């Protein structure tokens, strides 16, 4: 564990006032009466659940400027993260949030984007990181400018930064591996596509899933393919895998690019269901239709909300301290999707209907992998 203060981020849905009082009354009627009387006298509501870290500082008497460096504008996950960041920033009248999006994901472009902005001298810089090798030059630029740097996503191990918001994707891989026997039912075999080696996180996700899956001796991994080492895309590898093993019970992918971009025809050709790392709203349709059995990952808008809150609190705190926050991942199934989707929309600050995809034209696959 890091020597810095470690905080586990846990965001719970808001409980309405009457439900909170009902819960208290069920435990202690006398305590409930005392609390209700106190509220009537004082004239205020009891505290409600907030984003962890909120109210951690004092309200500043000046404007606080925070820069959030994201991913290229076309990145679907970043669009959701940005919604959460902007929604949370809108709670503070003293906060100016500058969102920076590089034109593409190269290290050179990212560094240039950051360098062009640094003369603005923000109070803190949030830097989104998937591949530390890509983010390192930009991160160094921020530190060399003596600005407070907070990384979001994957840690840059070689740098000492003020704070880090960790998106724990290895936990998502762990949950997927742990649930594998249930997900593959009624079959006993599966296919695995991964990209181990592409980034440190991709490697750790593979290792965590593999370690979990190896415990289930009754399950057979018919084939695995590495899109990074082979130099081939998921669109090339997946058709080959399912053609070779049409009776596989499940296709597991440790990155969601195929499902984010595949056409209805490509989905219909699959003889088996799938499970993947990735919880973007675009994927929810596949859970509803039965094409997917599970999605694993974070509530993306929470990443943006927690990042902004952490940066704002660190600037306004009387005694700022380094920190680490953790965004936990979840395993989402058809049974839990409604609750997950509602919390996702709340974090994004948008109506749930705006996130729900149109009914998928892709019918359920009808091969040997179907129950």
With 60 as the cut, is the pLDDT of residue 1 above it?
A: no
B/e letters for 26-42, b = 16+ CB within 10 Å, e = fewer, are eeeeeebeebeeeeeee
Q: How far is CA 345 from CA 183, 279, 355, 356, in A?
A: 26, 13, 7, 10
Q: How confident is the model at residue 368 (pLDDT cuts 50, 70, 90)?
A: very low
34 belongs to a structural domain: no
Q: How confident is the model at residue 55 (pLDDT cuts 50, 70, 90)?
A: very low
Q: Are residues 200 and 132 in the same domain?
A: no
Mean pLDDT of the chain: 85
Q: How far apart are CA 91 and CA 228, in angstroms?
A: 42
Q: Are residues 247 and 340 in the same domain?
A: yes
Whole-number pLDDT of residue 366: 43
99 belongs to a structural domain: yes
Q: How far apart are CA 330 and CA 237, in angstroms?
A: 27
Quick one: average pLDDT of 320-333? 94
Full-model pTM = 0.81
With 60 as the cut, is the pLDDT of residue 321 above it?
A: yes
Domain that includes residue 90, residue range: 64-168+301-327
Q: Are residues 338 and 237 in the same domain?
A: yes
Whole-number pLDDT of residue 105: 87
Region for residue 170 given its phi and psi (left: phi exceeds 0; alpha: psi -120 to 50; beta: otherwise): alpha
Whole-number pLDDT of residue 9: 37
Q: Quick one: what percent of the chain has pLDDT higher than 90?
A: 74
Q: How far apart are CA 122 and CA 131, in angstroms?
A: 24
Q: Are residues 231 and 338 in the same domain?
A: yes
Could you give the number of structural domains in the chain? 2
Whole-number pLDDT of residue 59: 63
Q: Are residues 198 and 252 in the same domain?
A: yes
Quick one: average pLDDT of 65-88? 96
> What CATH number should be reported for the domain holding residue 291?
3.40.50.2300
pLDDT greater at residue 42 or residue 291: 291
Q: Are residues 106 and 178 in the same domain?
A: no
Report the range of poorest mean pLDDT among 58-67, 204-213, 216-225, 258-267: 58-67
Q: Are residues 98 and 226 in the same domain?
A: no
With 90 as the cut, is the pLDDT of residue 120 above it?
A: yes
Quick one: average pLDDT of 282-308? 97
35 belongs to a structural domain: no
With 60 as the cut, is the pLDDT of residue 344 above it?
A: yes
4 belongs to a structural domain: no
Q: Are residues 341 and 239 in the same domain?
A: yes
What's phi and psi for 243, nearest 5 deg?
-70, -40
Quick one: average pLDDT of 101-127? 96
């Amino acid at each position: 564990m890091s020597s810095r203060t470690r905080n586990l981020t846990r965001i719970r849905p808001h409980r309405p006032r009457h439900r909170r009082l009902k819960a208290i009354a069920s435990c202690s009627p006398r305590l409930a009466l005392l609390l209700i009387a106190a509220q009537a006298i004082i004239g205020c509501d009891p505290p409600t659940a907030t984003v962890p870290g909120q109210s951690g500082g004092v309200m500043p008497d000046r404007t606080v400027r925070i820069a959030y460096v994201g991913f290229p504008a076309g990145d679907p996950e970043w669009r959701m993260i940005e919604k959460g960041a902007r929604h949370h920033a809108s709670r503070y009248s003293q906060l100016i949030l500058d969102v920076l999006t590089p034109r593409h994901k190269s290290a050179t472009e990212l560094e240039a984007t950051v360098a062009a902005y640094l003369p603005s001298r923000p109070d803190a810089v949030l830097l989104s990181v998937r591949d530390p090798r890509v983010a390192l030059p930009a991160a160094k630029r921020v530190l060399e400018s003596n600005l407070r740097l907070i990384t979001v996503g994957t840690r840059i191990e070689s740098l000492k930064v003020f704070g880090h918001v960790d998106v724990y994707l290895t936990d998502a891989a762990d949950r997927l591996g742990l649930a594998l026997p249930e997900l593959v039912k009624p079959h006993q075999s599966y296919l695995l596509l991964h990209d181990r080696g592409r980034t440190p996180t991709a490697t750790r996700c593979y290792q965590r899933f593999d370690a979990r899956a190896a415990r289930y001796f009754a399950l057979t991994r018919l084939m695995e393919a590495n899109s990074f080492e082979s130099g081939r895309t998921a669109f090339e590898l997946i058709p080959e895998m399912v053609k070779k093993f049409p009776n596989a019970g499940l296709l597991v992918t440790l990155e969601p690019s195929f499902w984010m971009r595949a056409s209805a025809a490509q989905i219909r050709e699959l003889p088996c269901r799938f499970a993947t790392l990735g919880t973007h709203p675009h994927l929810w349709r596949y859970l509803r239709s039965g094409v997917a059995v599970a999605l694993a990952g974070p509530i993306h808008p929470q990443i943006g909300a927690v990042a902004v809150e952490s940066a704002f609190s660190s600037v306004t705190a009387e005694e700022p301290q380094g920190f680490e926050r953790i965004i936990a991942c979840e395993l989402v199934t058809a049974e839990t999707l409604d609750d997950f989707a509602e919390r996702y929309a709340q974090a994004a600050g948008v109506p749930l209907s705006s996130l729900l995809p149109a009914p998928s034209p892709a019918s359920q696959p009808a091969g040997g992998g179907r129950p």
